Amino acid sequence: MDSVKCLVPANDVDSSDDDEEPSDQLMTTISRHSFGEDSDEPPFSVSIIENMKEEYGLFVWPCSKILAEYVWQQRSRFSGTSVVELGAGTALPGLVAAKLGADVTLTDNSDGVEVLDNVKRVCELNKIKCKVLGLTWGVWDASIFNLQPKIILGADVFYDASAFDDLFATVTFLLQNSPGSVFITTYHNRSGNHLIEFLMVKWGLKCAKLLDAFSFMPSYKASGLSGNIQLAEIVLKA
């Protein structure tokens, strides 16, 4: 079953984190997300450490579950492929890609130390080797110049309109840095869609594929989700 949650004693998550408040420890859960149960291939699951405090990057949001499912369904594209997840948060889509044999770099805001540390703990929990990198959209430091992903992932990265331009600048740079690459993103269909379309034109991008997220979600997984969510594959204009 997808997304099974359980409360976890703090010493089962990371006993080395002595600075964590007891109230934070009590709010920590581990959710388990399964893939491949309805296929002939061996199924697997990914466990995610979540915390119910007010930190958006410490939840598994619906867009993340949907993008992770799409990665699984498109699994032939990911084996041996270089993947970067932007605004990874709890990093479920990137971790699924790594399980499928991709070379994955998980990124989130450079200032988000707690989120980045949690991603490292999740990688250790699942015994998955991924690079974890602080990457702030629109900031050009040494870390971004070494990235040449064939697939860029982003789940629910269109939530703050003031950051859209910086996000598109970063996506465009990565697409240009790796010819033939693609940005795959899931997002809520909100009023900001017109801004997304405008910025795609501004940055020389185009939508190569647009899907209603629930058109490919298995019914037993879709039943636990809500919202008008779309998936887009975005590439450079020829």
Judge whether 16 lies within some domain.
no
- Give the span between the Cα atoms of 125 and 144, in whole angstroms: 27
Residue 220 belongs to what domain range? 28-236
Nearest-CA neighbor of 187 among 216, 218, 146, 159? 159
Q: Is residue 12 part of a domain?
A: no
The parts of the chain modelled with pLDDT lower than 70 are: 1-26, 53-57, 191-192
9 inside domain: no
pLDDT of the residue at 28: 86
Q: Is residue 80 part of a domain?
A: yes
What's residue 159's pLDDT? 87
Number of domains in the chain: 1
Q: For residue 73, is it within any domain?
A: yes
Residue 186: predicted pLDDT: 97
Half-sphere exposure of 119 (CA within 13 A, CB side): 30
Nearest to 97 by CA among 51, 142, 141, 152: 152
CB of 28 closer than 8 Å to CB of 53? no
Cβ–Cβ under 8 Å, residues 114 and 144 = no
pLDDT attached to residue 11:
45
Domain assignment of residue 10, yes or no? no
- Residue 89 domain flag: yes
Helix (H) or strand (E) holding 107: strand 103-108
Longest alpha-carbon distance in the chain: 54
Give the pLDDT of residue 21.
52
Is residue 7 in a domain? no
- Dist CA 107 CA 84 (whole Å): 7
Token pair for residue 122?
A: 């999740």
CATH of the domain at 141: 3.40.50.150
